[in-house]
A and B are shown apart, each in its own frame.
Chain A
Amino acid sequence: MALLEVDRLRVEFPTRNGTLTAVDDVSFTVEEGEVLGLVGESGAGKSMTGAAIIGLIEPPGHIAGGEIRLDGGRIDALRGEALRKVRGKQIGAIFQDPLTSLNPLFTVGDQLVETIRTHLPLSVAEARRRAVDWLAEVGIPAPDKRIDQYPHQFSGGMRQRVVIALALCAEPRLIIADEPTTALDVSVQAQIIALLKKLCRERNAAVILVTHDMGVIAETADRVAVMYAGRLAEIGPVKQVLEKPNHPYTAGLMGSIPRIGPRPERLIQIAGSMPRLSDIPAGCAFNPRCTRVFADCHVHRPRLAASGDGAVACLHYEGARP
């Protein structure tokens, strides 16, 4: 059984002008110790999917359908204490901006000790020792001194390291990393990603890595899921999706990445932009921008169909027709 199963997840936002569907019928699984990349443009629903898994969708948004199962047990309908025990202990989260993720009024040590003691039965002294170990683990020099410092005394990259320590310190089995490096300097990004990958490998923790950086995905992920307008376009092993993309959207994304190589070609650009959630076209959501569009694309909404080791939601593939 997979560690995490997301089954036909649907997230809705009621607004004055009708209900918006931010995540629409998304299904995927994450195996123990696996890194799943979740990619897509801004607003494709990738962060929302991550937030749904850890129960942090901002009201009035809510899960309107589908199931999320951890070890076979449903976690999408959990409330209060039960949900709190999953957060941190089972599923950790890392957010985009390390500058705002830490409470400015508490020392780094306070925040670590508090998190450790919330989930593990340790004394303050033991938790503090473990907190120092964690700081050392995430590569913070002189951790026994730094532990008593406040977040503002750390640089951005250092703070993201602290955030990683905070997310991992209760030994969760799944980490949701929502664009963990977007706010950082390019020179620091690779280090943070490598650190995250190493720590999770050592502890056999699975990762859902939400990003729009294909380079990060290629480096880090085992499998990748591509989202478009709240729907899953394609999912499969990272090599297959990156090198032989099935979905026209994925193909367009890959074509738009500059490569260092012998033959400089003109980059392919996907015409148009992603539709707003309030006017997603009928049929396939990608049909206005697709180069391989045909009549059925405007009528039928494609389902995920098996293709190679993955699956693709495009009517050009057998089994995608509903």
Chain B
Amino acid sequence: MPLFILRRVLQAVMVMLTVAFIAFLMFRFLGDPVNSIVSQDATQVEREQVRERLGLDDPLLVQYGRFVVDAARGDFGMSYRNARPVSALLAERFPATAELVLVAALMSLAIGIPFGIYTALRPRGVLSQALQIVSLIGISLPTFVTGILLILCFSVWLGWLPSFGRGEVVDIGWWSTGFLTASGLKALILPSFMLCIFQLTLIMRLVRAEMLEVMRTDYIKFARARGLKARAINFRHALKNTLIPVVTIFGLQLGGLIAFAIITETVFQWPGMGALFIQAVNFTDVPVMAAYLVLVSLIFVVINTSVDLLYNVIDPRLRTERKPATNAGI
């Protein structure tokens, strides 16, 4: 078990070093950073001085090592455009994205799993078939289209919910939360729903397919033959077996939610990291782009590693310290 964790953590570190290398290369290939720092009429001598001060004439590997060490400390340098530390910019924007993704993820689970179970248990029901059709639409419409339709419907026509921004936020330490004000919560509804639609339908369809599969297995048949209650069969025996692949996909999709948040944040002008990234791309703000890349990768890697470790909790067959069956063969 500890060995397994160690191996997974080492793999995660390797992935992060690779990502950091790609992020580091951005500095070199997206124009000369010295150009963005010195004024346009700087002389060659001044340029060289800046270059030397920033360590840009050191060997590539040394520069990379410096980048990794700084990044590990949370230091990504100064934003070219905002002239503020990138880490401060990200810290400022992170709560907005985190809250948006958290709510979207919870919504996709809270709605997707029950719907999936329902459609699996009553495959021929009218509601099940309706859900299946609606979910097909949900899975195939691009999210920005659904987002704009949601704005049109709930903000423009009905006027119930705001079409942009986070509403009022409350600061708790460095974390600004929208959970504590009515306008903050209202502002969360549309963007998080838009963000979760794809995952919601995916989870629903996945739960349905897995559940149908599990219901055909021998151990469910045997559970029935033992006279267990339908509730115990459906929600204890079948659901737990269904959840293993759901955990995998959910883990992968959680990273996807953060990535898709870029689109949602753009549509709803949500002041999160995604919006910051889009700005950074527009202005070739390399430090911000690099930091965003590293940060999102870190989140991905942490989630995937956690999911791998979570399997061990759910599925006893994967716990590696496997005692050999005694009296084998009898």
Complex contact B237–A155 (CB within 8 A)? no
- Indicate if B140 sits at the interface (CB-CB under 8 A): no
- Indicate if A100 sits at the interface (CB-CB under 8 A): yes
Candidates B226, B317, B327; contact of A166 at CB < 8 Å: B226
Complex contact B225–A158 (CB within 8 A)? no
Encoded as 1 (CB less than 8 Å from any A CB) or 0, chain B from 226 to 251 comes to 11111010001100110000000000
Complex contact B237–A118 (CB within 8 A)? no
- Indicate if A17 sits at the interface (CB-CB under 8 A): no
Encoded as 1 (CB less than 8 Å from any A CB) or 0, chain B from 291 to 330 comes to 0000000000000000000000011110000110111111
Residues of A within 8 A of B323 (CB): 149, 153
Complex contact A92–B226 (CB within 8 A)? yes
Candidates A92, A104, A187; contact of B241 at CB < 8 Å: A104
- Indicate if A128 sits at the interface (CB-CB under 8 A): no
CB of A116, distance to nearest CB on chain B (Å): 10
Which residues 201-260 of B sit at the A interface, judged by CB distance below 8 A?
217-219, 221-230, 232, 236-237, 240-241
Complex contact A56–B317 (CB within 8 A)? no
Complex contact A152–B317 (CB within 8 A)? yes
Which residues 155-187 of A sit at the B interface, judged by CB distance below 8 A?
155, 157-158, 163, 166-167, 170, 185, 187
Candidates B222, B225, B327; contact of A155 at CB < 8 Å: B327
CA distance A163 to B325 in the complex (A): 17
Complex contact A103–B322 (CB within 8 A)? no
Complex contact B227–A158 (CB within 8 A)? no
Residues of A within 8 A of B316 (CB): 104-105, 107, 150, 152
Complex contact B317–A118 (CB within 8 A)? no
Residues of A within 8 A of B228 (CB): 84, 88, 114-115, 118
- Indicate if A97 sits at the interface (CB-CB under 8 A): yes
A156 nearest in chain B by CB position: B329
CA distance A103 to B330 in the complex (A): 20
Residues of A within 8 A of B240 (CB): 105-106
Complex contact B241–A103 (CB within 8 A)? yes
CA distance A104 to B242 in the complex (A): 12
CB of A189, distance to nearest CB on chain B (Å): 12
- Indicate if A73 sits at the interface (CB-CB under 8 A): no
Residues of B within 8 A of A247 (CB): none
- Indicate if A13 sits at the interface (CB-CB under 8 A): no
Candidates A100, A104, A118; contact of B226 at CB < 8 Å: A118
Complex contact A87–B317 (CB within 8 A)? no
Complex contact B314–A87 (CB within 8 A)? no
**Which of A114, A167, A170 lies at the interface centre, i.e. has the most chain B CB atoms within 10 A of its CB?**
A114
CA distance A141 to B328 in the complex (A): 12
Residues of A within 8 A of B232 (CB): 114, 118
B217 nearest in chain A by CB position: A100
CB of A104, distance to nearest CB on chain B (Å): 6
Q: How many residues of B contact A (CB 8 A)?
A: 30
Encoded as 1 (CB less than 8 Å from any B CB) or 0, chain A from 251 to 288 comes to 00000000000000000000000000000000000000
Complex contact A187–B222 (CB within 8 A)? no
- Indicate if A298 sits at the interface (CB-CB under 8 A): no
CB of A63, distance to nearest CB on chain B (Å): 16
CA distance A183 to B2 in the complex (A): 37
Complex contact A155–B325 (CB within 8 A)? yes
A159 nearest in chain B by CB position: B325
B324 nearest in chain A by CB position: A153
Complex contact A185–B329 (CB within 8 A)? yes
Complex contact A155–B330 (CB within 8 A)? yes
CB of A148, distance to nearest CB on chain B (Å): 10
Residues of A within 8 A of B230 (CB): 80, 84
Complex contact A154–B227 (CB within 8 A)? no
- Indicate if A303 sits at the interface (CB-CB under 8 A): no
Candidates B237, B241, B322, B329; contact of A157 at CB < 8 Å: B329
Complex contact A93–B329 (CB within 8 A)? no
CA distance A22 to B3 in the complex (A): 54
Complex contact A158–B330 (CB within 8 A)? yes
Complex contact B224–A87 (CB within 8 A)? yes
- Indicate if A242 sits at the interface (CB-CB under 8 A): no
Residues of B within 8 A of A93 (CB): 222, 225-226
CA distance A314 to B325 in the complex (A): 51
CB of B228, distance to nearest CB on chain A (Å): 6
CA distance A142 to B327 in the complex (A): 11
- Indicate if A147 sits at the interface (CB-CB under 8 A): no
- Indicate if A300 sits at the interface (CB-CB under 8 A): no
Complex contact A87–B219 (CB within 8 A)? no
CA distance A104 to B238 in the complex (A): 11
Complex contact B219–A84 (CB within 8 A)? no
Q: Given A56-B221, A105-B241 in contact, is the A115-B226 Cβ separation under 8 Å?
A: yes
Residues of A within 8 A of B327 (CB): 141, 155, 158
CB of B202, distance to nearest CB on chain A (Å): 23
- Indicate if A86 sits at the interface (CB-CB under 8 A): yes
CA distance A290 to B240 in the complex (A): 52
Complex contact B241–A167 (CB within 8 A)? no
Encoded as 1 (CB less than 8 Å from any B CB) or 0, chain A from 184 to 198 comes to 010110010000000
Residues of A within 8 A of B326 (CB): 141-142
Q: Given A114-B228, A118-B228, A167-B226 in contact, is the A105-B221 Cβ separation under 8 Å?
A: no
Residues of B within 8 A of A291 (CB): none
- New contact pairs (5) apart from A84-B228, A141-B326, CB-CB < 8 Å: A56-B225, A103-B219, A167-B226, A170-B226, A185-B329
A selection of 24 A-B contacts at a CB cut-off of 8 Å is A56-B221, A56-B224, A56-B225, A84-B227, A84-B228, A85-B227, A87-B224, A87-B225, A87-B227, A88-B227, A95-B221, A100-B219, A104-B315, A104-B317, A105-B314, A114-B236, A119-B227, A139-B330, A150-B317, A153-B323, A155-B325, A155-B330, A166-B222, A166-B226
The 4 closest A-B pairs by CB, nearest first: A88-B227, A87-B227, A93-B225, A100-B218
